[in-house]
Amino acid sequence: MTNIFKLAVSTFIFEDKPLSLKELKQIKEAGFSLIEVWGRKPHFDFTNPKAVKKIKSSINSLGIKVASFHAPFGEAYDLSSCDKDIRRGAVKEIIHSAEVLEELGGARLIIHGGIRVNEGENRQPLISNLKTSLEEILKICEGKKKVLVLENMLPGRVGDTAEEVWEIANSFKSIYIGICLDTGHANIGGDLIETIKKFQSRLVTLHVSDNSGERDDHHLPGEGSINWPEFLAALAQGSYDGPFMYELVKREDNLAILRKAKSIYGKFKAIFKENLVW
């Protein structure tokens, strides 16, 4: 419970370059000490043991803690694929991601349920395939005492509605499966406040960003159309006890953006505490 609404940020903000001590120093300098590691190449080659050890050493040297690891996604990592070879390969890579999470000392493994669903395509086989994949991965996570976390997706993908994400996650009774609420995705694909209410008992982490409801811009709160006081009140009333994890797009001056994000967080934390149900 020590990470209740604790300030955190995804290294996604540096996705265009390999993660190194330099980027981690900027995160620390901006006032962040809790991160989610973005697991996509070339940002982070999680398949390279030397690269993993180097990042672990850098993180530890700065006193930064890893809250979560975002597993790779895309066609080669499609856990819902009807192609058995692709799905098996994806499961193997996500299981390896769980091992990297453990090496980095994190608690949560963030995954995307699947890629695009073709118009008119029957979603049920894809959902069934995803559940089969999750069952395999969950066994590994349970053994490591790590939480497997399903993220709500953009429209046109498996897991693009609150109801679908909830049904998939809740089909498993394990305490080691949870949900990540991506505010940007929910703002485009549905009702953000209703999504919070739906996810409430399974919600373990956030991906915080803003947009106008049309594109997944990953902007700072206040730069889009999300009603943040309403969001924070709903989150607090649902007794959310995870971190406040930013997932922001890269800018010309990332350090300035990170500092601004921390300033916004200070105001948000006060609103959250005012509405918290103890």
Phi-psi region of 48 (alpha: psi -120 to 50; beta: other; left: phi over 0): beta
pLDDT digit string (tens) for the chain, length 278 residues: 456 899 999 999 999 999 999 999 999 999 999 999 999 999 999 999 999 999 999 999 999 999 999 999 999 999 999 999 999 999 999 999 999 999 999 999 999 999 889 888 899 999 999 999 999 999 999 999 999 999 999 999 999 999 999 999 999 999 999 999 999 999 998 899 999 999 999 999 999 999 999 999 999 999 999 999 999 999 999 889 999 999 999 988 999 999 999 999 999 999 998 987 65
User: Does the global pTM surpass 0.85?
Assistant: yes
Question: Strands 244-246 and 108-111: what pairing?
Answer: unpaired
161-193 per-residue burial string, b: 16 or more CB within 10 A, e: under 16: bbebbbebbeebeeebbbbbbbbbbbbbbbebe
The class level of CATH for 7-275 reads alpha beta
DSSP state of 82: S
Tokens 């940020």, located at residue: 9
Using CA atoms, how far apart are residues 183 and 186, in angstroms rounded to an integer?
5
CA-CA distance, 163 to 79, in Å (whole number)? 19
3-class DSSP state for residue 132?
helix
Given this model, what pLDDT does residue 4 score?
A: 80
What are the extents of the domains in the chain?
7-275
174: helix, strand or coil: coil
